[in-house]
A and B are shown apart, each in its own frame.
Chain A
């Protein structure tokens, strides 16, 4: 009975600390192209995805395209900044990210620039690029062309900066109603395969390492409590008087430690996985799995040493809430301080 109560408390605590971290907009699995407004064609999405992936592989710089149906009353500047920072666009150290955001209903476009690109892409330039390469198309509702054209312009600029070839994209200067076909050259490079055999193995190894490391950590922390537990079984006569009080204190302390420990882990430990990956969207899946294992271990250890230990029940409560991990972490990727420019079209 007590154990059930105890576990319920723990569970509620964790639910609470998770629920504080869930963000409104989370990246799709493609990460680089997030067409929430559903206005981009398959080819456009593939074009953006392929180029962003190869750029990220070569330089760690990330260009992300997001379209939304509506900003729901928020202004595009702060919305873009939130998206930029919650997605963590760009490398965490270099902040070399670029976000192209289109708000469909408001007919607004914004280019948000990460800290690291402010020199390369000052606001004046992003404004001019929009005026020349993007807005003329958007005015005629030609979203695919406008976005591909603008994307290509920024892509070229960034490639120049990193001294890599960008001959596979061409940029159209201005809009012409007769020019119908899109600007991209269809020749694409081979995409590196990320989820082949080797990566599954990697996945397993990483998860294994984490769980082992974590269970050692957990043991280290809980060892004193195990000791105390044993001690008062043997020398009960002194402690019997205050039995309940002491046990309550121990339980509260344990809870505190657990919650503290968990928040630490979820906040920082797994972050380098995310930032080292060129596929953050997919990597966060792996992170979730690792978290699951960790929480599972933690709960298992707790059950083993909980007051009035032994017996069963409660183990199954260790499932169910893990899926809430993932989203809403901060500081994992590049950041922007609100640089960039906006246009109405």
Chain B
């Protein structure tokens, strides 16, 4: 009789522990996944914000800068690619391309003192730099979240639950180093 009690207590305790563990790690995975999604939308917001700034930038620059259609076209094209991008990888690549296109334009602008002194342009430059930095921060946060999430779903014993519940690995927001273009400028 007393033996029976002990067995029952032990079994119930073990059961509770196992069930608790499963529920806990499933909920943990949900939280991590949610975090990844939130961070991703943060990047999206900032990318869009930058895309919205571009037409304004192009118009301002066009008024001062002649014979630099190439640089301007490159920016416009990069912006369109960014808006078209459908997955993390494409988005990251389009973002990097826009980065370097803007950098290239800023180097050209050095030759136009009138433009550099234009308050509207200074304002735009600040907004662009600020947005670029926000993107960098959002990207870092996103990649951190992805790293946490990916590690979790690969680790024992969470990987068993992740497999059963169909959690998939998330993509990092990054570009292959080889594909990064150095801004070319010819004077």
Q: Point out residues on A near B: beta carbons under 8 Å.
A: 77-78, 81, 122-124, 126-128, 131, 224, 231, 235, 238-239, 253, 337-342
**Is the CB–CB distance between B134 and A337 below 8 Å?**
yes
**Is the CB–CB distance between A123 and B130 below 8 Å?**
yes
Known A-B contacts: A78-B140, A338-B138. Give 9 more (CB < 8 A). Answer: A78-B137, A81-B133, A124-B123, A124-B124, A124-B127, A238-B3, A337-B134, A340-B130, A341-B130
Min distance, Cβ A124 to any Cβ of chain B, angstroms: 4
- Name the A residues within 8 Å of B3 (CB-CB): 238
CA–CA, A337 to B119, complex, Å?
A: 25
Contacts A338-B133, A338-B138, A339-B134 given; indicate if A235 touches B6 (C-beta within 8 A).
yes
- Name the B residues within 8 Å of A124 (CB-CB): 122-124, 126-127
Q: Point out residues on B near A: beta carbons under 8 Å.
A: 2-3, 6, 13, 17, 42, 46, 119, 122-127, 129-131, 133-134, 136-138, 140
Can you name the residue of chain B whose Cβ is closest to the Cβ of A124? B123
CA–CA, A122 to B122, complex, Å?
A: 13
CA–CA, A342 to B131, complex, Å?
A: 12
- Name the B residues within 8 Å of A77 (CB-CB): 133, 136
Can you name the residue of chain A whose Cβ is closest to the Cβ of B134? A338
**Can you name 6 A-B pairs with beta carbons within 8 Å?**
A78-B136, A124-B122, A238-B6, A239-B6, A338-B137, A339-B133
Min distance, Cβ B138 to any Cβ of chain A, angstroms: 6
**Is the CB–CB distance between A128 and B2 below 8 Å?**
no
- Name the A residues within 8 Å of B137 (CB-CB): 78, 81, 337-338
**Leading 4 A-B pairs by shortest Cβ distance:** A123-B130, A338-B137, A127-B126, A124-B123
Can you name the residue of chain B whose Cβ is closest to the Cβ of A253? B17
CA–CA, A247 to B140, complex, Å?
A: 45
**Is the CB–CB distance between A123 and B138 below 8 Å?**
no
- Name the A residues within 8 Å of B122 (CB-CB): 124, 127-128, 131
Min distance, Cβ A122 to any Cβ of chain B, angstroms: 7
CA–CA, A127 to B131, complex, Å?
A: 13
**Is the CB–CB distance between A123 and B6 below 8 Å?**
no
- Name the A residues within 8 Å of B127 (CB-CB): 122-124
**Is the CB–CB distance between A339 and B130 below 8 Å?**
yes
- The 8 Å CB contact of B131, one of A123, A231, A235, is A123
Min distance, Cβ B80 to any Cβ of chain A, angstroms: 24
Min distance, Cβ A257 to any Cβ of chain B, angstroms: 11
CA–CA, A78 to B176, complex, Å?
A: 22
- Name the B residues within 8 Å of A122 (CB-CB): 127, 130
- Name the B residues within 8 Å of A338 (CB-CB): 130, 133-134, 136-138
Min distance, Cβ B140 to any Cβ of chain A, angstroms: 8
Min distance, Cβ A98 to any Cβ of chain B, angstroms: 14
Min distance, Cβ B16 to any Cβ of chain A, angstroms: 10
- The 8 Å CB contact of A342, one of B6, B129, B136, is B129
Contacts A77-B136, A81-B137 given; indicate if A341 touches B126 (C-beta within 8 A).
yes
Min distance, Cβ A269 to any Cβ of chain B, angstroms: 18
Can you name the residue of chain B whose Cβ is closest to the Cβ of A341? B126
CA–CA, A6 to B13, complex, Å?
A: 23
**Is the CB–CB distance between A123 and B136 below 8 Å?**
no
CA–CA, A36 to B129, complex, Å?
A: 27
